[in-house]
Amino acid sequence: MNNTALPPTQASVDKASIDTAALNTEQLTRRSVTEWANAMREGRLTATECLALHLDRIARENPRLNAIVTLNPLATEEAAAADRAAAAGRSLGPLHGVPFTVKDTLATKGLRTTAGSPLLSDYVPAESATAVRRLQEAGAVLLGKTNCSEFAVETHTRNPLFGDTWNPWDTRLTSGGSTGGDSAAVASGMSAFGLGTDFGGSIRWPAHCTGLTSLRPTVGLVPETGLLPYVPPAAAGASLPAPNSMSALHRLGTVAWLARSVDDLGLLLGVLAGTDGVDPSTVPVPLGGPVDSLAGINCAWFEDEGTHPVRDDLVAAVQSAAEALQALGVPTTRGRPPGIEQAAAAFVALRTAEGMPEVLELASGREDGLGSNLRSSLLGAAPSTVADYRKAAAERDAIRAQVLGFMEQHNILLLPVASVPAADPRTATFNISGKDIPWTELGSCCRAISILGFPVAVVPCGLSSEGLPVGVQVVGRPYRDREVLAVAAALEREFGRFSPPRFRSLSESSA
Query: Distance (Å, rounded) from C-alpha 459 to C-alpha 473?
Result: 7
Active-site residue identified among 117, 149, 178, 261: 178
pLDDT confidence of residue 508: 43
The most distant pair of C-alpha atoms in the chain lies apart, rounded to whole Å, by 65
pLDDT at 26: 61
Q: How far apart are CA 225 and CA 106, in angstroms?
A: 9
Instruction: Find residue 142's DSSP bridge partners.
Output: 100
Of residues 69, 195, 51, the one with CA closest to residue 130 = 195
Whole-number pLDDT of residue 24: 58
Residue 88 burial (C-beta neighbours within 10 Å; 0-12, 13-18, 19+): exposed
Containing structural domain, residue 115: 24-495
CATH of the domain at 185: 3.90.1300.10
Say if 502 falls within a structural domain. Answer: no
User: Is 393 within a domain?
Assistant: yes
Q: Is 309 a member of any domain?
A: yes
Q: Could you tell me the sign of the dihedral formed by the alpha carbons of 485, 487, 493, 497, in that order? A: negative
Query: Does 237 map to a domain?
Result: yes
117 is catalytic: no
Task: Please name the helix (run of DSSP H) or strand (run of DSSP E) that holds residue 485, with its range, or none.
Answer: helix 481-495
Which own/partner pairs from 232-235 qualify as long-range (CB within 8 Å, at least 24 positions apart)?
Answer: 232/120, 232/123, 232/125, 233/126
Q: Residue 79 CB: number of other CB atoms within 10 A?
A: 26
Residues 6+ apart with CB under 8 A from 286: none
Looking only at the bridges linking them, the beta strands covering 213-216 and 166-167 are: unpaired
Q: Does residue 103 carry a catalytic annotation? A: yes
149, 202, 247, 281: the active-site residue = 202
**Residue 84 covered by a domain:** yes
**Domain annotation covers residue 234:** yes
Q: What is the DSSP string of 208-219?
A: HHHT-EEEEPPT
The dihedrals phi and psi of 25, each to the nearest 5 degrees, come to -60, -40
- Residue 23 has a pLDDT of 56
- Tell me whether residue 32 is one of the annotated catalytic residues: no
Spatial neighbors of 466 by CB under 8 A, at least 6 apart, are: 421, 503
CA angle 497, 252, 227 (to 5 degrees): 80
CA distances from 235 to 121, 213, 241, 280 (A): 18, 39, 12, 23
Flag whether 203 is in a domain. yes
Distant-in-sequence, close-in-space partners of 269: CB < 8 Å, separation ≥ 6: 215, 217, 221, 287, 481, 482, 485
Cβ neighbourhood burial of 431 (10 Å; 0-12, 13-18, 19+) = exposed
Task: Find the catalytic residue in 103, 128, 188, 419.
Answer: 103
Cα end-to-end span (Å), the chain: 18
Please report the pLDDT score of residue 367 as a whole number. Answer: 87
- DSSP-based three-state secondary structure for 364: coil
Q: Is residue 11 part of a domain?
A: no
What is the 3-class SS of 264-302, one letter each residue? HHHHHHHHHCCCCCCCCCCCCCCCCCCCCCCCCCCEEEC
Q: Please report how the helices 386-406 and 343-354 are oriented relative to each other, as an axis angle in degrees rounded to 10.
A: 150
What pLDDT score does 373 carry? 82
Can you give the pTM of this predicted structure?
Answer: 0.94
- How would you write the pLDDT of the chain (511 residues) with one tens digit per residue? 443 345 433 323 333 334 444 455 666 788 999 999 999 988 889 999 999 999 999 999 999 999 999 999 999 999 999 999 999 999 999 999 999 999 999 999 999 999 999 999 999 999 999 999 999 999 999 999 999 999 999 999 999 999 999 999 999 999 999 999 999 999 999 999 999 999 999 999 999 999 999 999 999 999 999 999 999 987 777 899 999 999 999 999 999 999 999 999 999 999 999 999 999 999 999 999 999 999 999 999 999 999 999 999 999 999 999 999 999 999 999 999 999 999 999 999 999 999 888 898 898 889 888 988 888 777 767 778 999 999 999 999 999 999 999 999 999 999 999 999 999 999 999 999 999 999 999 999 999 999 999 999 999 999 999 999 999 999 999 999 999 999 999 999 999 999 888 644 334 433 3
Cross-strand bridge partners of residue 158: 164
Number of domains in the chain: 1
Closest CA to 331 of 363, 294, 359: 294
Q: Are 120 and 148 in contact (CB under 8 A)?
A: no
Residue 51: predicted pLDDT: 95
The confidence score (pLDDT) of residue 214 equals 98
**What amino acid occupies position 351?**
R
Q: How far out from the chain centre does Cα 18 lie?
A: 31
Instruction: Please answer whether residues 251 and 219 qualify as being in contact, where contact means their C-beta atoms are separated by less than 8 angstroms.
Output: yes
